Structure 1
C-alpha cells in the first residue's frame, strides 16, 4: 500500500513503539525536541510509546512515566567537551537495552542515530524480527568542535562515522532524514541506497498570533537567534555583524538558548561595545519562546551545520522574515526576496547588509515577507510528518512530498 506523505492513516490496532534517542528532554536541541513531539503524537494516536534515552546525571538505569511516554533512562557518562551531552558505554547498557526490549516486546523500534543506543536497538530488532525505522538528525562533522584532536584526525573520525552509519542504518527496514540535502549526503558518504527525506514537522499554529492578541514589542528593531550556543552556530558572526550595521544602527539582538559558547559570546559583545544591545535570555519556557518569535522583526540563523533547523521553521510559522546562512539545508527554507535573504557564511559585511535590508523596510513590506514564509512552512506541517511515520511503522510505503 502506498501512502502519500500527510495522507490519513486508517485506524488499526495500536502499536507498541520504542524510540531510541541518544538525546531527549530536558536536552534542548532539534533531535531531542523531535523525539518529544514524535512520542507525544504517537501517544495521542493511541499507541503505547517507550523511549530509551540517556540518564541526565550519574546513577543507575531507571524508568520514569512521563505524559508522552514511558522513558527508560540508561546509565550514562558526561562528555568533558560538551555542556550536557552524555554517552553510554556498550558494556554497561547493551544487556540492559536487550532486556528492556524483550520486556516491552515492541512492534517497531525507531532509532534516532546510529550511535550507541540506536545501534544496539537496531541490532536487537534485526535479530528478533522486529520492524525498524532509522532517522538521522546528525552530520558526523558536527562532532568536530567537541573533539580535542588535530584536523587530520577529525577527518578520519568523520569518515569512519559515515561508514558506520551505512553499516548500521543499512540493517533498518526504512531510513529517513529531514531534508533532501541530508538524504543525498547519506547516499554519497554512507552508501545508503534508499533514504526518504521526511521533514521533522512543525505545529505552525503554536507560533501564530491569536485573534485580538497584542504583543509588547521592543522599542528598537529586534533580531532574534534561537538555539544552542555552540561553535558551529556562528553567533559570534551575528554579534560582529550587528556592530557594523549602517541603515539600522540601533538594532538589538535577542539570543535564546544556552551552551558552552555563552561566556565567549558575552565577551565579544562587550569588546564590540554592544553589551546593551545583545541580550542573552538563556533557556526560556515554551511561552517565552513563542513571545520572542512574535516580538522580533527578523530571525537570523548563521549556523552552517543545520540538517533542517526547526527554529527557522518556528520563526517562519510566526510569520517572520528570515536571514539565513547559505549552507547545508537552510537554502531550502528561504526564497530570496520573497520570505527573506541568504548571506555568505563568514561574511559579516554581507550579513549586516541583509539585516539592514530587512529592518529598513516599512512594516507592511516586512509583513509581506513574513506571510510568504508562513505559507512556505505549511509544507512542513507536523500532521503530515506524523502520518508518514505512522505509516512507516506499519510497514506501508511512503512517498516524498
Structure 2
C-alpha cells in the first residue's frame, strides 16, 4: 500500500488508509505500507500489524504537517522491495509522489494495482494559496493529471457513488467502484439508557472535554478553508435555543481566523476550539454533542460524519458533493445550501428544541451508519485483492 499522507498526519485519507491497513492486518493480510517519514529520516517499523516503510522526506513548505517523499533512489529501493516481498497486489491511496513511484514499480514487476481516489482540487487550493481566478484552470489540470495516472490501474475505487460519478464526469473512462471508507461501529456507539441517563452521560463527556454543559453542536475535522467552519460560527447567533454552543475538534490553518470571527459575532464564549483531540478521545467529542454539523463542500464521503452517525447524532450538513449520500432530510438530519448560515441555524434550532425528534433522528443516523461497517469495507478490499491476484499476469521480459 502506498500513500503520501499517513498518521501522524490528520486528514480523511490518512485516517482511512491507516484503518484499512490495520484492519486488513487483523484479518491476516500481510500488509506493507510506503509513506513519507514524519521526521525526515527513513526507517521501518511494525505498527498494529502493519510494516511501515517510511521514506526519506522533506517539508512541503506549504503546510506544516505535510511532508514530501524524496524520489532520488526511491525507484531502486522499490524494485528491491518488490523482489523481496513479491506482493500479490499494490494499493495506491493517491496519485502524488509515492503513488506514482509505487505504480511504476508495480508495472515493472507485473503486480496488479488498485487505486483509490480521495482527492478533489479544492483540497489543494488553500495550501497553494491559489488565487480564485486561477482555480478553474488549476482544477482542470489536476483532474486531467489524476485521470492519466489512475488510468494505468487495474481497479479503481472511491468512497461513494457520487464520488465515482464525479471521477467519470472528469474524464475517467474506466469502471469505478464505490467502496465506503466505513466506520468502527463497535467503537462509535450511541449513549445508552433513557433520556435521563443519556443526558447525564453527555454532561460527563462535556466535563471531560472542559466545555460547559449546554446544548451543543459538534464538528470534527481539519480547520482548513474548504471545511467552511465559518458557516457554523455565523449560524450560532441565529440559533433560537438559548446558550447553544459549538465544539470543534481539530487543528488547521484557519484557527486564528475562526477565533477572530467568533469574537466579531459576539459568540467567543460559545465557540470552543479544542485543537487536536487524540483518536482515543473522539467518542467523548461525539457524546458531548446534541447534533453534528458539517459545512464542507469538498467531501467525497466524510469519515467524521459517519462516526457521528454511528454515535447516534443527527446531522445538519452542507448540500454539497457526497454529503447528501449520508443525510436524508427529515430522517436523520437536514441539508442546507452552503453559505446559508440562517438555514443551518434554523435546522439546528429545530433539532435542539425537540428532544424526542432528536432521539428519533439519532436512531435513524445509527441505522444508516450501520450500512458502512468498517469490517465490510475491509472484506470487500480483500475480495478485490484476491480477484486481481488470481488474474495476475507475469512481468514483461527485461
Of 222, 225, 230 in structure 1, the residue corresponding to residue 219 of structure 2 is 225
Query: Structure 1 residue 365 and structure 2 residue 357: aligned?
Result: yes
Q: 2:369 aligns with which of 361, 368, 377?
A: 377
Tell me the CA shift for residue 149 of structure 1: 3.7
Contact 1:140 / 1:162 at 8 angstroms: preserved in 2?
yes
SS of the equivalent of 1:345 reads: coil
Give distance in 1, aligned partners of 2:335 and 2:284.
Answer: 25
Aligned-partner Cα distance in 1 for 2:49–2:59: 26
Task: Specify whether residues 24 and 141 from structure 1 end up closer, same or farther in structure 2 by C-alpha distance, changes over 3 A only.
Answer: same
- CA distance 1:342–1:200, change in 2 (3 Å): same
Deviation, 1:91, is 3.4
User: Which runs of 5 or more residues in structure 2 are unaligned?
Assistant: 207-212, 390-398
CA distance in 2, matches of 1:142, 1:381: 26
Match of 1:277 in 2: 270
**Per-residue CA shift, 1:120-167, capped at 9, x if unaligned?**
111211221112110001112321112234334333332222122222
Instruction: State the Cα distance separating 1:210 from its structure 2 match.
Output: 6.6
- Secondary structure in structure 1 of the residue aligned to 2:95: coil
Provide closer, same or farther for how the CA distance between residues 284 and 149 of structure 1 changes in structure 2, counting only shifts above 3 A.
closer
The 2-side partners of 1:304 and 1:279 are apart by 22
Partner SS, residue 186 of structure 2: helix
SS in 2 for 1:336: coil
Q: Select 1:257's aligned residue among 240, 250, 253.
A: 250
- How many pairs are equivalent? 376
Contact 2:35 2:69 in 1 (8 A): no
Matched, 1:51 2:44: no
| Equivalent in the alignment of 1:390 | 382
Q: State the distance in 2 between where 1:350 and 1:238 align.
A: 11
Distance 1:378 1:144, change over 3 A: same
Deviations 1:81-130 (A, max 9, x none): 32311222433533333333333221111000111111111121122111
Taking the TM superposition and a 5 Å limit, the aligned residue runs for 1:301-340 are 301-340=294-333
Q: Could you say what secondary structure the match of 1:308 adopts?
A: coil
Contact 1:207 1:294 in 2 (8 A): no
Contact residue 55 and residue 70 of structure 2 kept, 8 A: no
2-side partners of 1:21 and 1:173: how far apart?
A: 17
Cα distance change, pair 269–371 in 1 and its aligned pair in 2 (3 A)? same
Choose 100-109 or 337-346, whichever is displaced more: 100-109
**Partner-residue secondary structure (3-state), 1:385:** helix
**TM-score normalised by L of structure 1:** 0.89
CA distance in 2, matches of 1:161, 1:90: 20
Task: Give the Å deviation of 1:20.
Answer: 0.3
User: Partner of 1:133: helix, strand, or coil?
Assistant: strand
Cα pair 1:75 1:93 within 8 Å, conserved? no
Structure 1, gaps ≥5 residues long: 1-18
Paired position in structure 2 for 1:345 = 338
Residue 153 (structure 1) aligned with residue 145 (structure 2): no
Whole-angstrom CA distance in 1 between matches of 2:97 and 2:83: 18
1:207 counterpart SS class: coil
Deviation digits for residues 320-354 of structure 1, max 9, x if unmatched?
A: 11000000100111111111001110111111111
Asked whether the 8 Å contact 1:25–1:36 carries over to 2, the reply is yes
- State the match for 1:240 in structure 2: 234
What is the deviation of 1:396? Answer: 6.0
Match of 1:281, SS? strand
Of 89, 96, 103, the match for 1:122? 103
**Residue by residue, what CA displacement relative to the aligned partner does 1:328-387 show, whole Å, maximum 9, x if unpaired?**
1001111111110011101111111111111111x2211000001111111111121111
The whole-number CA distance in structure 1 between the counterparts of 2:102 and 2:137 is 26
Between the aligned partners of 1:287 and 1:149, the Cα distance in structure 2 is: 35
Q: Which residue of 1 aligns with 2:395?
A: none
Separation in 2, partners of 1:149, 1:301? 24
